[in-house]
Amino acid sequence: MTRTRVRDLAEAAGAEVILKGWLYNRRSSKKFHFLLLRDGSGIVQCVVNRDEFDEQQFTEIGKIPYESAIEICGIANADDRAPGGVEIHANSVECLCAAEEYPISKQEHGPDFLLSHRHLWLRSRKQVALMHIRDEVLRTIRDEMHGRGFTCIDAPIFTPNACEGTSTLFEVDYFEDNKAYLTQSGQLYMEAAAMALGDVYCLGPTFRAEKSKTRRHLTEFWMFEPEMAFADLDDVMSLIESLLGRIVERVLEHCREELEVLERDIEKLEKVQSPFPRITYTEAVERMNAEGHSFEWGGDLGAPDESVISSWYDSPVLVHRYPQEVKAFYMKRDPKDPRLTLGVDVLAPDGYGEIIGGGQREDDLDSLVGRIQEHGLSEEDLRWYLDLRRYGSVPHGGFGLGVERTVCWLSGVEHVRECIPFPRMLYRIYP
């Protein structure tokens, strides 16, 4: 017999199965042990009947420490009352590796303790549910991009210069006394790839040396960054809307049980329907001020401002055409109003803030050189980037989707630190 995963037990109802996993919990009486076995794909209850084991075996099964590795052989019985609709009638239980006393008990622990034991905390039901949702988000992105004809291009982790701003770079010693930096974004390289392949994307880790301790910030996080040749801001917003809608659909379709474990209000996600609302930065500022939330035009939106704007809608909202002073050097200016950029941010509902930022890139060489000079960046370091405007420049655009922020919103959890397997934050790099 081969091992059966918990997630596949419904298909094995009535048959004998072998399960391998870890002892998650146990309830016992004089006549029965009720063992909860987890194997990463789910949790199943296994019933050990005293009448079917000798006294020593039954006693030893009742002493197996939590989180011990175990193997259980038994009959998979359909039971509507059981989680997953299946319960195991055990005929053998073997402890493969007895665990020491598990440090994460059933009592409440503070975040510092749990983060210091992240390697173990990751085993809990809610954390496993979050990782399944994260996996579904990443799978949906790859499936959708493949279906749309996009080519995956891996961006470098070491870069010679800044993309978003020199104040948030992690500096690394390179060979021959040179300096390199951990990437803030793969976007500039995706622009080069788009000029070669048309529609491309990268999906990988990025790094920001921001000394921030808010619930939205990590120093290492994952970004999905598509880039399209022959595209304008409207094309970018259309892709955002379509992809984000599909991500929500897939999570609702494949991760409903995980959402329930996390006690997520699923009705709120079911209200997320395209087309999503779109509003200009100027319209958002005018409405905020009209409703008594004071905000001066020209400033960047902070978390409280984003929360006000997102409270107007049940779905993510696309805020576009920001002032050029608050956006990166590569953003194209709006030809109808040079004060503005052809950029867009997507704000998630319920105060989860910005999950996507993007827009149309500056495709004119002289204009881009001027912006580089205005931002005090090195023209020499960006010579290769300027070459993209010298040799066959075309309108193009894309965006960056923060994976952890998106998972955080979809899951309804409080902090992005739970939405990545091993979080890196201002004062945390262990384990």
Predicted confidence (pLDDT) per residue in 290-306, tens digit: 999 999 999 999 999 99
Predicted confidence (pLDDT) per residue in 119-145, tens digit: 999 999 999 999 999 999 999 999 999
Kindly give, in sequence order, each residue whose CB lies less than 8 Å from that of residue 140, ignoring residues fewer than 6 positions away. Answer: 246, 247, 250, 251
DSSP for 41-91, please give it. Answer: S-EEEEEEEGGGS-HHHHHHHTTPPTT-EEEEEEEEEE-TTSGGGEEEEEE
d(CA 414, CA 409): 9
Predicted confidence (pLDDT) per residue in 365-398, tens digit: 999 999 999 988 889 989 999 999 999 999 999 9
Please compute the mean of the pLDDT values over residues 37-41 and round it to a whole number.
97
3-state secondary structure of 150: coil
Residues of the chain above pLDDT 90, percent: 91
Predicted confidence (pLDDT) per residue in 303-324, tens digit: 999 999 999 999 999 999 999 9
d(CA 206, CA 351): 23
Instruction: Give me the pLDDT at residue 398, please.
Output: 98
Give the pLDDT band (50/70/90) at residue 165. low
3-state secondary structure of 147: helix
> Residue 429 corresponds to which tokens in the numbers above?
């790099």
Please compute the mean of the pLDDT values over residues 220-232 and round it to a whole number.
98
Domains of the chain: 6-97 (2.40.50.140), 118-419 (3.30.930.10)
Neighbours of 96 (CB within 10 A): 11
Which of 229, 282, 180 lies closest to 396 in space, CA to CA?
Answer: 229
H or E element that contains 23: strand 16-28
**pLDDT > 70? residue 162:** no
Q: Which amino acid is at 427?
A: Y
Residue 241's φ and ψ, nearest 5 degrees, are -60, -45
Maximum distance among all Cα pairs of the chain, rounded to whole angstroms: 85
**pLDDT > 90? residue 344:** yes
Q: Which residue has the tokens 């050990």?
A: 48
Give the pLDDT band (50/70/90) at residue 164. low
Which of 17, 55, 11 lies closest to 37 in space, CA to CA?
Answer: 17
Instruction: Give me the pLDDT at residue 338, please.
Output: 95
Give the pLDDT band (50/70/90) at residue 163. low
Which of 204, 203, 208, 160 lies closest to 184 in space, CA to CA?
Answer: 208
Instruction: Give me the pLDDT at residue 166, please.
Output: 65
* Intra-chain end-to-end CA distance of the chain, in Å: 38
Predicted confidence (pLDDT) per residue in 234-271, tens digit: 999 999 999 999 999 999 999 999 999 999 999 999 99
Running DSSP on this structure, what letter comes out for residue 95? E
Predicted confidence (pLDDT) per residue in 42-90, tens digit: 999 999 999 999 999 999 999 999 999 999 999 999 988 887 789 999 9
